[in-house]
Structure 1
Amino acid sequence: MSKKEKAGKILMLPVSQIEPSPYQARTAFDDTEIAALAVSILQNGLLQPVTVRKIGMHRYQLIAGERRLRACRLAKLEKIPAILSSYDDSESAALGLLENLQRSQLDPFDTARGIREVIRLWDCTQAEAARRLGLSQPALANKLRLLALTPAQQQLCTAGGLTERHARAALRLPESRRTAALEKMARDKMSVREADRLVDTMLAAPKDAPGPCRRTMPMVGDVRLFVNTLQHAVDLMTQKGIQAVTSCDQTDGYLEYTVRIPLSPAPPVPDTTEACHAPEMPEEIHV
């Protein structure tokens, strides 16, 4: 870095020479917010410079200010003020994450991935990372646990508007039952308390009577997910006292899944002095 470009100096840099940070934790940006910020910058100028570091003769890498940089590009500004720094990779990643945590509400999974990345770059323990990020160790550990959800489950949470606490509730379940739980939480717009009750109910379900398709029958992923969802619905019915039963057969390249649901409540246990009456036959539903 030349004397003319000392760390801490504010430079007017061409927007075209500033590259995005490879350590940006945020993966989704609100286009409406960026557009509103661009209008504000056009009217009032960029009130807070972005922070960059030099990576080449005429190239700079963004450290903090991704939203501001995107808004400046949208506003078609040629040059913007930037604070020059001399941070290394680990410092750049940490500063970018901290800015996102302090300035705007990050997606919980983006936060978890950002924390995991700075731990890798710092090569430190969770306890040390928590101290440096200003978090308690349990809070940091809880955020990292969210990454135990599959990418599809994470996307389900984001698309369904579920919070970090909804996701943590689902993590109490075995991996194979989390998707069905998250889908119901999102579909029914459950509160966190309702989500916890749902998980408690699922965990209390008998474990000694697996559904007929939960054995070793080979299935592609999408089919297995659909069958697991069906079986979860049957589990909920049986927990409510509806004596639904299922059967599953595979013939001629097809999977036949049958659900038998009684049309009337189960009859009371008859007195031994009276004749027994057969209950009404259940209806069969083929899927």
Structure 2
Amino acid sequence: MQKKSSRTVLESGRVKFVRLDKIRPNPSQPRRVFDPTGLQELADSIRQYGILQPLTVRRMPGGLELVAGERRLRAAKLAGLREVPCIFVTVDEIESGMLALVENLQRRDLDYIEEAEGLARLMRLYGLSQEQAAMKVGKSQSAVANKLRLLKHPPQVLEALRKGGFSERHARALLRLPVELRLEALEVMGAKAMTVAQAEQYIESLLHPATPAVHKPKYVLRDVRIFLNSLDKNVEIIRSAGIPCDLGREETEQEIVLTIRLPKSRPGKSA
């Protein structure tokens, strides 16, 4: 019996080959950033081995729309393919977006910001709670909550986090700062290539700057006594010269107040 080609076997089942120019991108694709180096590596692999996992598409008026497989579609174009293997599914627009998100989440193809945005979109489109979204993507509710918290960063901070290559833990630590301080803090963290632990310490220092210690003057009692003894001796010298001299002393917990009274002229002489 003559052996069928792999293409014939595929076309006789659920998988069909489709021309690339017939496939439109998925408008609900959660992935926004595609690493050029990674795409080129995938394109090289496709040239050598072909596409091992078919793309998923749905029928639309005037053509086909991609449901899942954006990265493979782009790499196939780079590889110079004219057609790709596809599986046809019957889904509506919302289900198409959900399938694209779930596939990316399960394959870990998204960065943590894209994942947070995709989860938020999934919840918004379907009206899902965090618990329901967690079940859809196979994550815990707390993991979903932590992802969604990242979206409290304004867009410019999210972009800086992505461009700076900061980890998700960096991003979570940064949430402690007021919004107006975050971009400047990221610049410092990036310039110093801070680890998560270093970033957390730096953020703590911004939130609670150390107050300079107030140095109170330290008086050594022995030195004060030496001074007082010297003063007493000088008062006695003045008195021995026939000049009335009165030394008053008042002492509190904080200080010693000394008062010396001398006449402006010698006794018996007019001023």
- The verdict on a shared fold, with TM-score over 0.5 as the criterion, is yes
For residues 211 and 104 of structure 2, the distance between their equivalents in structure 1, rounded to whole angstroms, comes to 45
Q: Hey, what does 2:79 align to over in structure 1?
A: 75
Q: 1:102 — aligned with what?
A: 106
The residue aligned with 1:55 is 60
CA contact (8 A) 1:157 1:186 kept: no
Q: Cα deviation per residue 1:156-183 (whole Å; 9 max; x = unaligned)?
A: 1112211111111111122122222222
For the Cα contact (< 8 Å) 2:174–2:182, is it kept in 1?
yes
- Structure 2 partner of 1:44: 49
Between structures 1 and 2, the one with greater helix share: 2
2:181 aligned partner:
177
Aligned to 1:145: 149
- Residues 38 and 75 of structure 1 are in contact (CA less than 8 Å); yes or no, is this contact kept in structure 2? yes
Once the two structures are superposed, residues 1-43 of structure 1 have per-residue CA deviations (whole angstroms, 9 ceiling, x without a partner) of xxxxxxx821111100101111111111111111121121111
> How many Å apart are 1:269 and its aligned residue?
4.0
Partner of 2:21: 16
Residue of structure 1 in register with 2:124 after alignment: 120
8 Å Cα contact 2:58-2:91 kept in structure 1: yes
Determine the C-alpha separation between the residues in 2 that align with 1:200 and 1:32: 37
Distance 2:68 2:208 in 1: 47
Structure 1 residue aligned with 2:254: none
Aligned length: 209
Q: Deviations over 1:82-122 (max 9, x none)?
A: 00001222222222112222224422111111111111221
Runs ≥4 residues deviating over 3 A: 268-274
Aligned to 2:188, what secondary structure does the other structure show? helix
The structure with the largest alpha-carbon Rg is 2
C-alpha distance 105-199 of structure 1, shift in aligned 2 (>3 A): farther
1:168 maps to 172
Matched-pair contact (CA < 8 Å) for 1:89–1:121: no
2:31/2:114 contact within 8 Å kept:
yes
1:183 alignment partner, SS class: helix
SS of the equivalent of 1:153 reads: helix
- AA at the equivalent of 2:41: A
For 1:107 and 1:132, the matched residues in 2 are separated by: 18
Unaligned runs of 5+ in 2: 1-12, 228-271
Deviation at 1:189, TM superposition (A): 1.3
The change in CA–CA distance for 1:200 and 1:105 in structure 2 (over 3 A counts) is farther
Give the structure-1-normalised TM-score.
0.67
Structure 2 letter corresponding to 1:88 = D
Amino acid at match of 2:14: K
Gaps of 5+ in 1: 1-7, 206-238, 244-265, 275-287
Q: Is the 8 A contact 2:59 2:90 kept in 1?
A: yes
CA, structure 1 residues 240+189, in 2 after alignment: closer, same or farther (shift >3 Å)?
farther
User: What are the superposed Cα offsets for residues 52-97 of structure 1, whole Å, 9 maximum, x if unpaired?
Assistant: 111124x111111111100111122111110000122222222211
